[in-house]
């Protein structure tokens, strides 16, 4: 659906009906204005309507309608196509959900197509409308605001994932026995989803930071700031992935040590139990000529011997850390 349509001139929004036709006609009539049309999961008919108004390329429209595109920047004539992945975090399932924002940036218009629940641009639009000096830069300011908001979302997601990583580290090294392998693997998969959104975007942001035709050199410093934040969150995601790998290795090593401890305890108890079993087996044989067989205290002596040997072995195993 069409979320919002706005026409901006001299850093201020003009009070006009919110429909694509009004935007297209207004920017034709006013030389120093530009339009911003926002769509959320539009239908084919709505995209065709916008395509005809702004003469957008068929391949660009196809990219906008298909979700799960790789972040990229392409140029179709005087229109810049920017595909961005949005991220948001669902703490209940340790899940990083993804969406997509596609921006068509022309000399005097911006069309944004959003898929997914995350990455809402209404807040970005309102904040930008309060900064007339920024809106004065035209469509480049809108593209910067979108990129900046999405990269800020990346940082928020990374911080939330780090909280879960800290919980995993505490659990792995806690004195209690825990089973963290499944959660670690799940988080590693989600971090991979983060990196698929973040890493391909670094090169386009570097290009914007050094100036791209159609955006103007005055916008470069703002994109340099976005590129810096993106580089930082990319390093953060890589560090999180490394920490999760280390936590998984530590967990597996600890499980192995625990299994060895269990085997040592079992072996120690088997050895202790073998002594009375052996003595009872010997004196349970049906022979007449056995030492002390007719001795009155023989039964008690054997029990005492069993107890002494078992206690001695138990203390020995405790001393060496097997029990």
Question: In order of start, what are the domains of the chain with their CATH numbers?
Answer: 2-254 (3.30.460.20), 257-320 (1.20.58.340)
Burial of 40 (0-12, 13-18, 19+ CB in 10 A): buried
Task: Check residue 26 and give its pLDDT.
Answer: 81
Q: State the Cα–Cα distance between residues 74 and 86, nearest whole angstrom.
A: 18
Specify the pTM.
0.77
Which residues lie below 8 Å from residue 273, measured CB to CB, with a gap of 6+? none
Q: How many residues make up the chain in this entry?
A: 323
How far is CA 73 from each of CA 23, 80, 83, 206, rounded to the nearest angstrom?
25, 7, 6, 12
Which residues lie below 8 Å from residue 285, measured CB to CB, with a gap of 6+? none
Q: What are phi and psi of 82, to 5 degrees?
A: -125, 120
DSSP result, 200-219 = HHHHHHHHHHT--TTT-GGG
> Do 109 and 39 touch, CB atoms closer than 8 A?
no
The tens-digit pLDDT sequence of the chain (323 residues) is 777 888 888 778 887 777 888 888 888 777 778 888 888 888 888 888 888 888 888 888 888 888 888 888 888 888 888 899 988 888 777 788 888 899 998 888 889 998 887 767 888 888 888 887 777 778 888 888 898 899 999 999 899 888 888 888 888 787 777 777 888 888 888 888 888 889 888 888 888 777 765 566 677 778 888 889 899 999 999 998 988 888 888 888 887 777 777 787 787 788 778 878 777 776 666 656 666 666 667 777 777 877 888 888 778 777 767 66
Task: Check residue 6 and give its pLDDT.
Answer: 81
Q: State the Cα–Cα distance between residues 232 and 99, nearest whole angstrom.
A: 21
């Amino acid at each position: 659906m069409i979320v919002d349509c706005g026409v901006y001139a001299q850093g201020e929004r003009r009070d006009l009906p919110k429909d694509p036709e009004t935007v297209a006609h207004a920017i034709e009539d006013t030389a120093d204005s530009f339009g911003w049309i926002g769509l959320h999961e539009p239908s084919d008919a709505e995209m065709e309507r916008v395509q005809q108004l702004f003469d957008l390329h068929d391949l660009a429209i196809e990219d906008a309608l298909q979700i799960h595109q790789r972040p990229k920047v392409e140029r179709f004539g005087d229109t810049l196509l920017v595909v961005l992945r949005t991220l948001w975090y669902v703490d209940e399932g340790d899940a990083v959900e993804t969406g997509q924002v596609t921006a068509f940036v022309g000399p005097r218009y911006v069309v944004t197509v959003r898929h997914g629940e995350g990455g809402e641009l209404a807040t970005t639009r309102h904040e930008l409308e309060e900064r007339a000096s920024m809106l004065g830069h035209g469509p480049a300011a809108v593209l910067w605001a979108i990129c900046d908001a999405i990269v800020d979302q990346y940082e928020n997601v990374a911080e939330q994932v780090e909280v879960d990583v800290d919980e995993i580290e505490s659990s792995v090294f806690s004195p209690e026995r825990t089973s963290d392998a499944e959660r670690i693997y799940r988080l590693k998969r989600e971090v991979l989803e983060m990196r698929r959104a973040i890493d391909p975007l670094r090169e386009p942001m570097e290009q914007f930071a050094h100036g791209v035709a159609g955006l103007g050199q005055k916008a470069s410093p703002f994109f340099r700031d976005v590129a810096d934040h993106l580089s930082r969150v990319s390093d953060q995601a890589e560090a999180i992935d490394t920490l999760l790998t280390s936590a998984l290795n530590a967990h597996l090593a600890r499980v192995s040590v625990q299994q060895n401890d269990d085997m040592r305890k079992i072996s120690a108890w088997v050895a202790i139990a073998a002594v009375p079993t052996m003595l009872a087996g010997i004196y349970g044989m049906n022979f007449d000529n056995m030492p002390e067989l007719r001795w009155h205290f023989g039964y008690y002596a054997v029990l005492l011997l069993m107890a002494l040997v078992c206690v001695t072995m138990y203390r020995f195993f405790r001393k060496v850390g097997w029990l």
